[in-house]
Amino acid sequence: MNDILKVVKERHSDRVPFDPNRQVAKENLKQILEAGRWAPTAHNMQNFDIVVVDEKEVLEKIGNIKSRISEVFIRENYEQLSFSKEELLKKKTGILGTMFPQSWVDPSKMAEIARESVPMPLTQTIRGSPLLLVVVYDPRKRAPASEGDVLGFMSLGCVMENMWLMAQSLGISLQVLSALAAPPVEKQVKQILNVPEPLKIAFTCRLGYPTGSTKYLRIRRDIADFVHNNKFGNKGI
C-alpha cells in the first residue's frame, strides 16, 4: 500500500524536452495501455480508443501543425498563478508564474499578446517526445442520466491517471497535452491519424525520457483543508 502512495506522490508533469532517440520499450508501452484498459468507467462503457503514435514521420506531421495561444487560456491560467514560492505555499493551490513566459503574467497585455502571437508549430509542445498516446472518445455516447456526460469525462480521467501512474512506476516521464484537442488543431490531427467522425480527442499523453531537470515546487492542501466530518464545515477527521 505504501508503494502505491509513493507512486501517487511522485507522479508529476514533465514539461522539459524528451530525448527523441530514446524509445519507450514495447513491453513498457503494453503495461501502460494495460493499466488504461483496467481503468474504471461509468457503467463499464469504456468509451475511449487510443491511437499510439511512434513513427517519426507521423510525429513530424503533427509537429508541423501550427497553433496560436488563446487569450482565454492566458487569462484563466493567470488566475491560478502565484508569483512567489511563499505565495504558493500559503495558497496551496495553483502553480508558480515562473513556469510561464513573463509576458503571460501581465493582465493588461493578455489580449494584445493573444492577438499578436505568431502561430507556433506543435514541435514546441511535443518537445522531442518519441511517443504520443492520443485518447479519443465518442461524444454521442454518455453515461445514463449524466448531464453533460460528467461521469464519462470522469472515466476518461481515470484512464489518464491509470496510465500516468503506471508510466511513473516504470520510470517513464509523462505530460498531458490539451493542445491537440483544441480546434482547429484537432481537425488536422484527426486527418493525419485517420480518426473518423464523430470521435473527438479528449487528451494526448507525451511520453519519454527527459533531457534535463524536471523539478519544480509541488504543493497540495492538507487533509484538514478539504475534509469535512459528517457536516460541511466540521474540518478534519
Q: Do 130 and 188 belong to one domain?
A: yes
Q: Same structural domain for residues 128 and 185?
A: yes
Residue-wise pLDDT tens for the chain (237 aa)?
Answer: 579 999 999 999 988 999 999 999 999 999 999 999 999 999 999 999 999 999 999 999 999 999 988 888 888 888 999 989 999 999 999 999 888 877 777 777 777 777 777 889 999 999 999 999 999 999 999 999 999 999 999 999 999 999 999 999 999 999 999 999 999 999 999 999 999 999 999 999 999 999 987 778 889 999 999 999 999 999 988
- For residue 131, give the CATH number of its domain: 3.40.109.10
Number of domains the chain is built from: 2
Question: Domain containing 34: what range?
Answer: 14-67+121-209
CA distances to 17, 105, 130, 137, 217 from 97, in Å: 20, 7, 28, 33, 11
Q: Identify whether residues 33 and 48 lie together within a single domain.
A: yes
Whether residues 34 and 143 share a domain: the answer is yes
**Residue finishing a domain among 84, 100, 117:** 117
> DSSP string of 168-204?
HHTT-EEEEE-GGGSTTHHHHHHHHHTPPTT-EEEEE
Residues 143, 199, single domain; the answer is yes
